[in-house]
Amino acid sequence: MTVMYQVDAFSDRIFGGNPAAVLVLDDWLAEETMQSIAAENNLAETAFARPNGRGWDLRWFTPVHEVEFCGHATLATAHVLAAHHEVIGEMAFSTRVGELRVARADGGYRMDLPSFPPEPLPDLPAPIAELFADIDHRAFRNFENIFVELPDEAAVRAFIPDLTRIATLKLQGLVITGKGDGYDFVSRYFAPGVGIPEDPVTGSIHATLVPHWASKLGKTHLSAFQASARGGHLLCELSGDRVLITGKAVTFMKAEIHLP
């Protein structure tokens, strides 16, 4: 029997935040099987965790491929381990981007992630540049995404994505961000090329958004909101070369899946 959980991450209620599937395994399934499970789920990410003697190995799959870095499914995995596997104390996850640590905090969970400061991007790729031709903007990047800062929260919320153009990116996706009204900053994230038209709440992009806005606003404690249809609130802190993100998570479903 293989048990799978579905968790709404960055939310204190079901039907909020970003749903992720989580499977805690004794060892990895065949890679094609894990990819097929993720495709069957058709969620932004399905996480697979296994014990490694020091903590946990963790991998994430979108409906179409394995990804380097995912925050909300890390939060969902920590919730499953704490709430359903009686794991106590800080949890350490070995991943492709290094060690991620998660501990209970403030009625939720605090993720300790590596910081990926923004890298200069003098020019947007041609298909994407046309989306911002009439909007004042500033572009930067990290190892997997392009970021575009817009004038304000209203511009972020009003942005209408051309998913066909965005899908031409060789990088994983496009992040737009702006100074918030009730929050320090807001963002949205589009990755149609990997099966995610618009991600509801994305922890990983904040590993770059937090150092960007910390520098711009001159503060290390930041309140962020991802302005998708489901939406999500993230409490963030820049701590040296780490980004701390606090959020809640709730279990929506526990299921038994049948594998061939």
Provide the annotated active-site residues.
Answer: 45
Nearest to 113 by CA among 95, 101, 124: 101
Give the whole-angstrom CA distance, residue 118 versus residue 122: 12
- State how far the Cα of 99 lies from the Cα of 83, in Å rounded to an integer: 22
Quick one: CA dihedral 233, 239, 243, 244, positive or negative?
negative
104 burial via Cβ count (<10 Å: 0-12, 13-18, 19+): middle
- Write out the DSSP string of 198-221: S-S--TTTHHHHHHHHHHHHT-SE
> Mapping DSSP to helix (H, G, I), strand (E, B) and coil, where does residue 91 land?
strand
* Whole-angstrom distance, CA of residue 240 vs CA of residue 195: 33
User: Alpha-carbon torsion 12, 13, 18, 23, what sign?
Assistant: positive
CA distance 166 to 18: 21
Dist CA 106 CA 12 (whole Å): 12
- The encoded tokens of residue 56 equal 């946990």
What is the rounded CA–CA span in Å between residue 201 and residue 35? 22
Chain-centre distance for alpha carbon 244? 13
